[in-house]
């Protein structure tokens, strides 16, 4: 992508191949010198740009902990010559073999809120839910790109009447927009809330046993026809998602749909053959925690020069019902004649120029580059991501806007990952 112009911003971080190579050499030298000083390299593939970025982030965190100041610009694009990730992401692969997966025995334990007394851990990337190797936190190192589908995707996005005027993902739930996702962290000391209304029998204990969430949860609900929320109930060890939510009585919320995923699982719906849980359930298999851009993770990533640490759920302009659904989804919406299967994973190319990004936009672009997004729900309009719903300016204020990715990335920067790849 060429030079970007983004009104109101002047963020420019160009990186030449020579500069990138020098940074790699410097980074490896610093890593060697830092050995034995509390720094542990997160990976060893020194020719991989993904690894180089991970090392840079780890070194920055180590330096900050050790009391060193960091003033160098964050590198967001690889050298153009020999990056392993770059070569992989420009392959001509159109199909990929699915690896044989041996699932662990599925947990059948019914979650129960724990007694009051414990407190929720500090919110940060290290405390993201789900077990190691989950799809939710999976990276894209080595991911094969489907070039044919990438070409079709870009053409579709440029032509669809609801999308052609918007060349980047919009951000919902900020700047007075009420179509984001309410997010709350639940601790054992928080009150127990219960659901009523259209609660699937698979998660019926949300009606009878409930979940921990702050007292403020009810006041944050948007009251729109969508009105979704995600609660990370750390005390009980699961994440709750619900939609069409409205408070109907004391600590009771009526909903039109609901789901729950256990944190000690691999974060996949129990109907997915790759899931290790007999409990996880959400309409069509969407991952609750992927459906929201959390403010705490964004703040941490801006400060550290990192990313959100997880794949995102994309509210897509229009999927193709005839294409069905693919991992991680287990169902799809009917009556759609757009592009792509539900669950199809897309990502910002490793070679995309991110020099036009604002700090918050850069975090989102890095997240889309390193983890990608899967086609989740149909948006009913232009493609978007849902931010943690701002409430009277107390969550984002003016720090995140609906057009944060304007001048940062556009659809021609995206590639389509081969179907079914983890």
Whether 146 is covered by a domain: the verdict is no
Whether 262 is covered by a domain: the verdict is yes
Whether 198 is covered by a domain: the verdict is yes
Q: Could you tell me if 408 and 369 are in contact, meaning their C-beta atoms sit under 8 angstroms apart?
A: no
Whether 67 is covered by a domain: the verdict is no
Specify the pLDDT at position 311: 98
- 3-state secondary structure string, 333-371? CCCCECCCCECCEEEECCCCCCCCCCHHHHHHHHHHHHC
Whether 203 is covered by a domain: the verdict is yes
Whether 278 is covered by a domain: the verdict is yes
Q: Could you tell me if 245 and 228 are in contact, meaning their C-beta atoms sit under 8 angstroms apart?
A: yes
Residue given tokens 């969508």 in the structure block? 226
Specify the pLDDT at position 124: 56
Specify the pLDDT at position 420: 74
pLDDT per position as a tens digit, 146-205: 999 999 999 999 999 999 999 999 999 999 999 999 999 999 999 999 999 999 999 999
List CB contacts of 15: < 8 A, sequence separation 6 or more: 23, 75, 76, 77, 79, 355
Residue given tokens 């849902």 in the structure block? 386
Q: CA 229 to CA 282: how far, in whole Å?
A: 13
The total number of residues shown for the chain amounts to 422
Q: What's the number of CA atoms in the CB half-sphere (13 Å) around residue 17?
A: 5
Q: By residue range, what is the domain housing residue 195?
A: 182-286
Q: How many CB atoms lie within 10 A of CB 370?
A: 24
Q: CA 353 to CA 76: how far, in whole Å?
A: 8
Strand-pairing partners, residue 345, are 374
| 137 to 67, 228, 286, 311, 388: CA distances (angstroms) | 29, 22, 14, 6, 18
pLDDT per position as a tens digit, 316-368: 999 999 999 999 999 999 999 999 999 999 999 999 999 999 999 999 999 99
Specify the pLDDT at position 127: 85
| 353 to 154, 301, 356: CA distances (angstroms) | 17, 19, 8
Whether 1 is covered by a domain: the verdict is no
The count of domains in the chain is 1
Angle at 128 between CA 51 and CA 170, to 5 degrees: 80
Q: What is the pLDDT along the chain (422 residues), one digit of tens a residue?
A: 444 444 433 343 333 343 344 344 344 444 444 444 444 454 444 444 444 444 444 444 444 434 433 333 333 333 333 333 332 333 333 333 323 223 344 544 444 443 333 333 333 567 899 999 999 999 999 999 999 999 999 999 999 999 999 999 999 999 999 999 999 999 999 999 999 999 999 999 999 999 999 999 999 999 999 999 999 999 999 999 999 999 999 999 999 999 999 999 999 999 999 999 999 999 999 999 999 999 999 999 999 999 999 999 999 999 999 999 999 999 999 999 999 999 999 999 999 999 999 999 999 999 999 999 999 999 999 999 999 999 999 999 999 999 999 999 999 999 999 997 76
**CB neighbour class for 242 (10 Å; exposed up to 12, middle 13-18, buried from 19):** buried
Whether 277 is covered by a domain: the verdict is yes
Strand 384-386 to 170-172 pairing: parallel
For residue 73, give the nearest of 361, 355, 300 by alpha carbon: 355
């Amino acid at each position: 992508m060429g030079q970007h112009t983004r009104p109101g911003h002047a963020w420019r971080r160009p990186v030449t191949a020579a500069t990138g190579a020098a940074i790699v050499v410097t980074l490896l030298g610093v890593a060697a010198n830092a050995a034995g000083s509390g720094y542990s390299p997160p990976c060893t593939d020194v020719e991989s740009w993904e690894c180089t970025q991970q090392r840079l982030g780890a070194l920055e965190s180590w330096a900050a902990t050790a009391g060193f100041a960091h003033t160098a610009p964050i590198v967001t694009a690889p050298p153009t010559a020999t990056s392993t990730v770059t070569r992989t992401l420009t392959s001509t692969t159109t199909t990929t073999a699915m690896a044989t997966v041996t699932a662990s025995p599925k947990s059948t334990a019914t979650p129960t809120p724990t007694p009051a007394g414990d407190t929720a851990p500090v919110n940060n990337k290290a405390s993201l839910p789900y077990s190691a190797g989950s799809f939710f936190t999976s990276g894209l190192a080595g991911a094969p790109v489907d070039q044919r589908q990438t070409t079709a995707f870009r053409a579709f996005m440029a032509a669809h009447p609801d999308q052609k005027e918007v060349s980047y993902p919009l951000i919902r739930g900020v700047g007075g927009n009420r179509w984001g996702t309410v997010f709350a962290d639940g601790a054992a000391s928080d009150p127990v809330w219960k659901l009523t209304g259209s609660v699937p029998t698979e998660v019926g204990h949300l009606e009878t046993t409930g979940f921990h969430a702050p007292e403020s949860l009810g006041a944050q609900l948007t009251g729109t026809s969508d009105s979704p929320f995600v609660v990370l109930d750390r005390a009980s060890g699961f994440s709750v998602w619900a939609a069409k939510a409205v408070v109907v009585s004391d600590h009771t919320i009526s909903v039109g749909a609901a789901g729950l995923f256990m944190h000690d699982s691999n974060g996949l719906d129990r109907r997915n053959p790759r899931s290790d849980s007999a409990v996880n359930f959400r309409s069509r298999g969407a991952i609750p925690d992927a459906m929201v851009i959390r403010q705490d993770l964004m703040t941490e990533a801006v400060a550290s020069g990192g990313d959100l640490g997880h794949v995102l759920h994309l509210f897509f302009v229009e999927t193709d019902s005839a294409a069905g659904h693919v991992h991680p989804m287990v169902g799809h919406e009917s009556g759609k004649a757009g592009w792509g299967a539900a669950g199809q994973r897309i990502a910002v190319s490793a070679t995309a120029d991110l020099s036009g990004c604002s700090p918050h936009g850069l975090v989102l672009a890095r997240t889309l580059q390193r983890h990608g997004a899967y086609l989740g729900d149909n948006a009913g309009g232009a493609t978007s991501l849902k931010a943690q719903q701002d409430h009277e300016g107390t969550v984002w204020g003016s720090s995140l806007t609906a057009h944060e990715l304007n001048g940062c990335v556009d659809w021609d920067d995206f590639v389509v990952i081969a179907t079914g790849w983890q």
